[in-house]
A and B are shown apart, each in its own frame.
Chain A
């Protein structure tokens, strides 16, 4: 087997069009013309794509309802028994929270059984000299210091950093703190209490758990802004399909860009 960071290897440095060898340099624009305009490699399997979009829905719901839990809507009027505004907002938050948490579990499971691209988000190979130097290259590309981008089958190093450090780890934090707060209402005999209540003790006062859960929301909000922008930008600029990969799983490498 090849290197741990195979799935992040830049594709433009060699020639292995079909991605059969561990180092898949799928497309070399510097080489003489290839017969077809595009070359495509199947990268993200269906469960990953499905998870991605379910996760998007859950996260958006969680951010909107979570925001409104801390800063509620203007008051409803009339009999309390006629309204359940905060009740439904919290209900939606918890329902989406379960979807989100189960989604992450499924994603972990698929990380274990799926192809190697399914494992990429779980850790950052900071010990790999190659990865760090390509991360530096990617930063230079993003600051217009490099003319041509390196192209990848999986996530490029910068996207990888964002997905892992600004989404996946914060997501685990949100689940831990979310269920810890949930356990307070679920009661001391609930499984949520048994599994997650210890998280409250890290701070000692639940109000801090609320505070950091909310900070976590803003972290993920920043990720979403950068992530969506970068997906669109790289789709146009980096000579490979980006957005399409999350729909059909195929990474297309454009010959000309």
Chain B
């Protein structure tokens, strides 16, 4: 931990200067920054004091870490991993047990206000946080402790950003996204289940090199990766506009690669970079593989199903009730009432007219 700058650290790990500069160029490009930014990043790495990162794991499945270490470019992976791995990350660090736990305390004490906490997963709050114990303590306590003097917090994945699967109804453990527990620190949300590797490395490189958070949208997500919907950049969009849809799995239209809207694709309501950055070194993403987007980076996506139908079900109206089943029932009811009421009105009118005629004659 003695290294003063990231540059020192990389050099000690045997990464050549050439590779570091290459990394700076790649990072600048992936962040959509102008070429001059590469030099800026390089300078920052060489001169700025290194910022330690604590990577905590709460209630989660580690898919964010899995995604992260599969970052497409090997160089990015090496550099970024060495940027963060040496401080604390319980799933990939070498130290274990008390030795490992001591690191958190050490960082919090020595780097007050100058370290980053990256959280994967979220704290369950029910029963005093007993549903997630790490190092003998409820995760929520460890999270609060680690964040106390942090400069900023990165909420990795949908768990930390908006609760994800464990927060789906009825959420028995009361899994709670990070921003509802840590309310006094700047938080970057990087939703997705998992987020795209390049998005993760891009965000962390940006924060570490520029020592500030990237521009965020209203929900706290970095604009450079989350400002457009999958649908806005989907290569099947031409079929959407044309009105050409896959009607059934494995039908002719599926073979032709038509739009997956009718199969429940959530691309039109999902903010993420899959349709631009792609997955696994840009090889593919769900829609390209023939499956609709399930909207995994969106708030409460697990409860917005079904995944395979366009209209979502409405909570509280029983299974399979969507806007159309409810609306159609109500409209049919209105029509029926009008018909019956109309019939009764006709009878009344007939009786009234007869009565009046009688009165007038009499």
Contacts and interface: CB of A to CB of B under 8 A. Distances in A.
Contacts of A89: 243
B338 A226 contact: yes
Interface string B228-257: 010010000011111111010000010000
Contact of A207 (B258, B266, B345): B266
A218 B349 contact: no
A221 to B, nearest CB: 5
A210 B313 CA distance: 12
B351 to A, nearest CB: 11
Interface in B327-362: 327-328, 330-331, 334-335, 337-338, 341-342, 344-345, 348-349, 352, 356
B304 interface: yes
A225 B300 contact: no
B298 A205 contact: yes
A236 B311 CA distance: 41
A218 B332 CA distance: 11
A185 B228 CA distance: 8
B242 A71 contact: no
Contact of A72 (B227, B262, B322): B262
A198 B326 CA distance: 27
Interface string B192-214: 00000000000000000000000
A225 B335 contact: yes
A99 to B, nearest CB: 22
Contacts of A204: 162, 219, 298-300
Contact of B345 (A81, A215, A237): A237
A3 interface: no
**Majority secondary structure of chain A interface residues (helix, strand, loop or mixed):** helix
A188 B331 contact: no
A256 interface: yes
Contact of A144 (B242, B266, B301, B344): B344
Contact of A201 (B219, B247, B341): B219
Nearest to A86: B243
A101 B37 CA distance: 45
A84 interface: yes
A69 to B, nearest CB: 10
A73 B261 CA distance: 12
A222 B341 CA distance: 15
Given A206-B269, A229-B342, A75 B244 contact: yes
A193 to B, nearest CB: 10
Nearest to A209: B269
Nearest to A185: B232
Contacts of A184: 229
A219 B314 CA distance: 15
Contacts of B269: 205-207, 210
B123 interface: no
A233 B245 contact: no
B33 interface: no
A85 interface: yes
Contacts of B18: none
B114 interface: no
B78 to A, nearest CB: 35
A208 interface: yes
Contacts of B356: 256
A211 B247 CA distance: 21
A205 B304 contact: yes
B320 interface: no
B292 interface: no
B4 interface: no
B341 to A, nearest CB: 7
B299 A205 contact: yes
B109 interface: no
A72 B331 contact: no
Contacts of A237: 345, 348-349
B121 interface: no
Contacts of A2: none
Given A72-B261, A81-B238, A218-B326, A198 B243 contact: no
B331 A225 contact: yes
Interface in A70-113: 70-77, 80-87, 89
Nearest to A233: B345
B295 interface: yes
Interface string A148-166: 0000000000000000000
Q: Which 3 A-B pairs have the closest CB atoms?
A: A218-B327, A85-B243, A204-B299
Given A71-B310, A71-B311, 18 more contacts: A72-B261, A75-B258, A77-B244, A80-B244, A85-B242, A86-B243, A87-B242, A142-B341, A144-B344, A184-B229, A188-B223, A188-B227, A207-B266, A211-B314, A214-B323, A218-B327, A225-B334, A236-B349
17 contacts: A70-B311, A70-B324, A76-B244, A80-B241, A80-B242, A82-B242, A83-B242, A86-B242, A144-B344, A188-B223, A205-B300, A208-B304, A211-B312, A215-B314, A218-B328, A225-B338, A237-B349
Interface of A: 70-77, 80-87, 89, 142, 144, 147, 184-185, 188, 197-198, 201, 203-208, 210-211, 214-215, 217-219, 221-222, 225-226, 229, 233, 236-237, 256
